[in-house]
């Protein structure tokens, strides 16, 4: 059967990871192991496993960057003040000597925060936001497409080793809104997706990174509590529900089987490692 995506057609050579927090580092290590030359760009180099350009992208870059054939942008929206995306993306476009062959912008399924409900949402549905942070993400997507022709990846709640917020909540017995709809993706599968977006000749222009099972938050914490051998946390009073249901069919068609198809496999492994 012909592969419509042309997976593994491209071989990322020089890759720039803009933002490069935990997710970017894991992606970079995976790419380096497969022969790519990876450079990070972030405010502080710290103890990075590959060369790093120190830059605060809220301000103009004071240098021209080297050539890169691929760029992955993992900048989170600003938590206060003006959005980081206009200065960061415009500054990046100006500093790059030529247009990279492939740019991937990591957004978030938060762009659907204004569309709660049980109807599954797909990549064909229009975003609707209800917060400034959500609006910043939509603006970042539009700018990344306008300036770079970027492919957009929208992860749901990312979890995995070192991302154990829910496990800690259950252990603490903190009240939780059991009725809230939730979608999630294991960090390992998200890293696999980002690499595939760089390697595929015809990667999707927009893709939701969600696993196979949208679920109520109460079901997730009940499973975690069972594995920990504790009582589930109490219900938040009052519970407000909300949240979205996101369809992950395109991700499964593009990436194939997930290593962590539902929250159960992921949290079971995390708890077993405690």
Q: Residue with structure tokens 């051998």?
A: 229
Residue environment code for 201-211, b if the CB has 16+ CB neighbours within 10 A, otherwise e = eebbebbbbbb
- Calculate the alpha carbon distances from 199 to 3, 48, 72, 96, 270 in Å: 13, 24, 12, 21, 29
Residues paired with 105 in a beta bridge? 73, 152
pTM, full prediction: 0.96
CB-count exposure of residue 14 (10 Å: 0-12, 13-18, 19+): middle
Contact 107, 141 (CB under 8 A): yes
What's the confidence (pLDDT) of residue 46?
83
Reported residue count of the chain is 274
DSSP SS3 for 34: coil
Q: Mean pLDDT of residues grouped by 10 in the chain (274 residues)?
A: 84 96 97 97 91 91 92 88 92 96 98 96 97 95 98 97 96 96 98 98 97 96 97 94 96 96 98 96
């Amino acid at each position: 059967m012909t592969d419509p995506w042309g997976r593994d057609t491209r071989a990322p050579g020089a890759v720039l990871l803009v933002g490069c927090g935990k997710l970017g580092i894991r992606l970079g290590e995976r790419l380096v192991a497969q022969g790519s030359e990876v450079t990070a760009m972030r405010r502080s180099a710290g103890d990075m496993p590959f060369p790093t350009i120190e830059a605060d992208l809220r301000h103009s870059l004071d240098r021209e960057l080297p050539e890169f054939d691929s760029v992955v942008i993992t900048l989170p929206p600003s938590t206060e003040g003006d959005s980081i995306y206009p200065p960061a993306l415009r500054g990046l476009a100006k500093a790059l000597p030529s247009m990279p062959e492939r740019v991937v912008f990591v957004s978030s399924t938060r762009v659907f925060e204004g569309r709660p409900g049980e109807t599954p949402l797909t990549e064909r549905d229009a975003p609707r936001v209800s917060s400034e942070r959500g609006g910043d993400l939509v603006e970042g997507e539009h700018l990344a497409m306008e300036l770079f022709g970027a492919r957009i990846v929208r992860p749901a709640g990312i979890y995995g080793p070192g991302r154990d917020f829910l496990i800690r909540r259950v252990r603490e017995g903190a009240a939780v809104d059991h009725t809230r709809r939730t979608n999630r993706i294991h960090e390992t599968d998200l890293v696999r997706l980002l690499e595939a977006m760089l390697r595929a000749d015809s990667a999707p222009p927009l893709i939701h990174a969600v696993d196979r099972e949208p679920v109520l938050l109460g079901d997730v914490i009940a499973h975690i509590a069972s594995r920990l051998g504790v009582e589930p946390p109490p219900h938040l009073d009052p519970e407000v529900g909300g949240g979205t249901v996101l369809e992950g069919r395109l991700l499964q068609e593009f990436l194939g089987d997930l290593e962590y198809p539902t929250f159960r496999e992921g949290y079971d492994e995390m708890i077993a490692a405690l």
